[in-house]
Amino acid sequence: MSWRIYRRLLSMFVCLLLLLARPALAKEINTLDDLAGAKVGGWPSLGEMRLRERYPDIKFTEMETIADMVQHVKQGKVDACILNYVFFNTLQEEGVDGVRLLPEPVAESPSGYLFAKTPKGKKLGDQMDRFIRKCRRDGTLDRLTQKWMRGTKEGWVFEKPALSGKNGMLTAASNAINMPFVYLQNDKVTGFEVELFALFCAEYGYDYQVKLVSFESVLLGVETGQYDVGINAIEITQERGESFRLSEPTYTDETVVFVKDYASATSYISSFKSRIVRTLITEDRWKMLTKGMGTTLLITLSATVLGTLLGFILCFVYREKNRWANTLIDLLSRFLQGMPVMVLLMLFYYVVFAGGRLSADVVAIVVFTLTTGIDVLGMLQSGTASVPKGQTEGALALGYTERQTFRKFILPQAVRTFFPTWQASIVNLLKFTAIVGYISVQDLTRMADLIRARTYDAFMPLIVISILYMILAYLTMKLTGLLLSRLDPSRRMPEDILPGVRL
């Protein structure tokens, strides 16, 4: 093919990318009636149900975070989004521009705590209901509501009471992205629901810890008993009440609709510096990214070393040709290779080790060790199959056993073809660790999600961690390349190849 044809193909590809990346044209909305036939985003909620009842032809898109909602509206990917009024008020507190509120509310949204329908969950739920009623009577709930829900951000100070812990430790789960209900500030979980829960623990003699997970993992973890309570501005609905023990409402808010405000929108370039400051400098958020990067590297390094060792062990066992052992290895390979890694993580954390004391970090290392071990086994099997059979026959003719032949002749040659694939798999492993946040591991991606939830900026945190992942991947390639060059048999000295033989 000539250069002219290549240039035409490249031009067509660039034009296609520009066509797909063109700005979406959002429908201009000024009243709720304009939502008929519109694209609406948000959380599945009572507000969504009311909108669907009123406007059956709306197209609803489920979203996980408020930052995603804001970006979708600003970029015209949806016409409007629904959320609680207190969250929109927080957007204004954080100085987010480019969106405006429609004047008419959609529905009321009561929120509370989530417990499992187990004897322990019902006991905690009953205690929480009694405590909430007591707080209503003595004015504690009104005081907290005034401070967190109606006050300014300067007054959001978490006053943690003394906790005895005489009746045990409660594990709460939250995604910590719903300010001011529950959010992360200076690496500590705080907010309206957290302070109320701390007062509850002090009242009933508990201590508590908060695990940061996705919203889906909050529900799954509470249901399986991994966590005692869900703290997540959880809306109280009849459908959720069929699966969980819900507390009495701690706060009832209005569900509202916000749309794009063309008058106050600013460009990315004009606000680039302030975005960098909010993402990295404010509240020392760069420390969160550093901590997450350390966790990512720990999981990657541990799974690489242990997984590679496991792969070699499985390879040696497989060559013993034991029928039962090989069948077991084959079944394990099919199971691990046939399951998405995210599903494996959640299965091991919430089911296999549900009653154990293994931390989420250790569970992540176990899962990635198993998947890496199976990958290494496949690489070694492919590498040994590429070695000519004459090598085995020659070694056996010289009196070597099958084990000695494999260890001294076949494996060293197979490893040479194994190294490049192994190196690429380590980089892939580094990138796969981005999903461990689903089981409360505070890795680099999870920390970026928490920062996005505070800044309501879906752009800058993703750009920062993209650069960090590229740097980590480059360093991983360089370090493993250095290791492979030192292990390359072609670089050995003659005296090392034939010890005791003079050339």
- Looking at residue 110, the DSSP 8-state letter turns out to be E
pLDDT in tens, 391-401: 666 766 777 66
pLDDT in tens, 83-138: 999 999 888 887 788 888 998 889 899 999 999 999 999 999 999 999 999 999 99
| Whether 228 contacts 89, CB under 8 Å | no
Q: Which residues neighbour 64 within 8 Å (Cβ) at sequence distance 6 or greater?
A: 214, 215
Instruction: Break the chain into its structural domains and give their ranges.
Output: 110-251, 284-489
Q: What is the mean pLDDT of residues 456-485?
A: 86
Residue 3 pLDDT more than 90? no
Which tops the pLDDT comparison, 488 or 302? Answer: 302
Residue 431 pLDDT more than 80? yes
pLDDT of the residue at 198: 95
pLDDT of the residue at 275: 80
pLDDT bracket for residue 4 (50, 70, 90)? low
| Whether 297 contacts 368, CB under 8 Å | no
- Sign of the C-alpha dihedral computed for residues 248, 250, 252 and 257 taken in this order: negative
pLDDT of the residue at 452: 84
Q: What is the mean pLDDT of residues 281-309?
A: 91
Q: Which H helix or E strand runs over 113?
A: strand 107-115
Structure tokens at 491: 């670089």
pLDDT in tens, 445-470: 989 888 888 888 878 888 999 999 99
DSSP string, 438-454: GGT---HHHHHHHHHHH
pLDDT of the residue at 2: 59
pLDDT in tens, 261-293: 877 656 555 577 778 888 888 878 889 899 999
pLDDT in tens, 241-257: 889 999 999 999 999 99
CATH class of 284-489: mainly alpha
**What is 110-251's CATH superfamily?**
Periplasmic binding protein-like II (3.40.190.10)
Residue 37 pLDDT more than 90? no
DSSP string, 317-357: HHHTT-HHHHHHHHHHHHHHHTS-HHHHHHHIIIIITTTS-
